[in-house]
Amino acid sequence: MWFRCRLALTLALVACNAVAAQVVPNNELQVGAGDHLVRAHCLVCHSAQLIVQSSLTRTQWLDTIRYMQRKHNLWPLGDQETVILDYLEANYGARYQSSGRRKNLPYYR
């Protein structure tokens, strides 16, 4: 009886660990095709949090990359840009039918 109990407990713990291993913390990038390029190019300047908290369309991700290049000296990404966009779209694509950020509030006089 005790042996069976211990066996059941051990199996339950193993199963729990297997499930826990798949959970990615909020501030880390999802594992997926192209994630190594995003790690290499994007996490040099800031944490993954800025990416993880976003949900953008492919066009908006491209705009964000251009913005990084214009304002923050992100280097040209060459052929790797497509792979990076594929990754961003697949893992942090637009979840809602919105333009990502809300529009600025009207100027208050």
> Which one among 8, 11, 13, 50 touches ligand HEC, defined by CB under 6 A?
50
Closest to ligand HEC by CB, 10 vs 82, is 82
DSSP 39-79: HHHHTTTS-THHHHT--B-HHHHHHHHHHHHHHH-PPP-TT
Residue 48 sits in the site that holds ligand HEC (CB under 6 A): no
Q: How many residues bind ligand HEC (CB under 6 A)?
A: 16
Minimum distance, C-beta of residue 9 to ligand HEC, in the bound complex (Å): 44
Three-class DSSP category at 103: coil
Give the type of residue at 28. Answer: E
Shortest CA distance to 77 belongs to which of 31, 28, 42? 42
Tokens coding 95: 């979840």
Segment contacting ligand HEC (CB under 6 A): 6-14, 16-24, 26-34, 39-47? 39-47
CA separation for the pair 32, 49 (Å, rounded): 17
> Which one among 5, 20, 70, 72 touches ligand HEC, defined by CB under 6 A?
72
Binding site for ligand HEC (CB under 6 A): 41-42, 44-46, 50-51, 54, 64-65, 68, 71-74, 84
